[in-house]
Amino acid sequence: MTSTATASLATDLGAYRTSLRAYLNNGDALDRWRGKHHGSTEDRIAEHAALMAHLYQDGWNRYGWPAEAGGHGGDERHRGVLYDELSAAGLPVPDPQLMLETLGPAVVRFAPDLAARYLPEYLRGANWWGQGFSEPEAGSDLAGLRCRARREGEHYVLSGQKLWTSHGATASRFVCLVRTGTPESRHRGLSMIMVDAAAPGVSVRPIALASGYRELAEVFFDDVVVPADRLVGEEGQGWAVAMYLLQWERAMYAWQSAAVALRRFRELLGQVAGKPLPDGAATRIGECYGDIVALRARSVRTVRRLAAGETVGPEASVDKVLLATAETSLHDLARDLLGTDFVLGAGADTGDWRADWWFSRSATILGGSAEVQRTILADHVLGLPKEPRA
């Protein structure tokens, strides 16, 4: 592709969609990733990284990212189109894209040198990052984090533990929220820093979920030395960086998940076509489709606001609530339509639905519980009066 054509697709979203669709449906070069089942999280992420490398080689997943970070320009809508078109073509949205959407924009904004150094290799699937926020004693209360980084000359020395780290078992680097101030400083004493998973003193303990898949991990830091230029933002600016990235975690993850849910919804209907279905199946199918479409209808507005450079505030919790609703709705529908086969079936398709159903149970917890999201909406969006103290 010529540089003129590349520049044109970065400014013409419709042309990008048309060209990408033609690429994804041209020949059998991408069939390796269609309808593929994986025996472990590690195998799945490795295969998805290979898909990222393929897309990067031909330039398609570089749109939506700045040229300074290895991209071709464009904005969040280009990434949204990529996820839509991958799903429409029967291809997976690569798992590492999840953390890229969550962490990438914040690194581009607050640490452009790190973005220039490491984002290109992320886009081509050579490395990816894990998010190190939650801790055993802090949970979702980020202001109570204890994992500590102390400054020693041109380095920081990290000590502590992170829990529920997404992609922790395979990530090459961790973007961690750590305490650089006193415990009493709460959110004002936090900083964000990028740590190599292979650095001396880092140990990773994968967490197997009920499905047996090791989607998360515990990460331990034992006097890990990290160069000071790995800070994302200034020292003490971690809370502001975390609030900034929350916009993308809410909006782009929701859009990405809706694209995947529509593909899985179509696959489910194909699996049960011609088979006897339980009473009320047609209504359940319609309700589930409505849940996914409602998520997209809400999410598209948030994605457009991000693309326009607007700041998305607490109202993004609506996207998170709708996402959890759609994910549980889809996987409960699969459980009920597949019936006994869902529980006892030995096929790879059924096994994937079982594993995904287990993971979907966390949809109302991960990234902020549904109760917390509704409280945010009540307090900061609707301005409802607080409940009287007992």
Same fold, 3-126 and 130-235: no
Architecture of the domain made up of 130-235: Beta Barrel (2.40)
Characterize 322-339 residue by residue with b for buried, 16 or more Cβ atoms within 10 angstroms of its Cβ, and e for exposed.
bbbbbbbbbbebbeebbe
Q: Is 85 a catalytic residue?
A: no
Active-site position among 76, 101, 135, 249: 249
Domain parsing of the chain, residue ranges: 3-126, 130-235, 239-381
CATH 3.40.50.300 is right for the domain spanning 239-381: no
Write out the chain's pLDDT in tens, 390 residues. 677 778 899 999 999 999 999 999 988 889 999 988 898 999 999 999 999 999 999 999 999 999 999 999 999 999 999 999 999 999 999 999 989 999 999 999 999 999 999 999 999 999 999 999 989 877 667 778 899 999 999 999 999 999 999 889 999 999 999 999 988 888 889 999 999 999 999 999 999 988 888 989 999 999 999 999 999 999 999 999 999 998 888 889 899 999 999 999 999 999 999 999 999 999 999 999 999 999 999 999 999 999 999 999 899 899 999 999 999 999 999 999 999 999 998 888 899 999 999 999 988 887 778 888 899 899 988 999 887 766
Q: How far is the C-alpha of 191 from the C-alpha of 226, rounded, in Å?
A: 13
B/e letters for 93-132, b = 16+ CB within 10 Å, e = fewer, are: bbbbbbbbbbbbbbbbebbeebbbbbbbebbbbebbbbbb
CATH of range 3-126; options 3.40.109.10, 1.10.540.10, 3.30.450.20, 3.30.43.10: 1.10.540.10
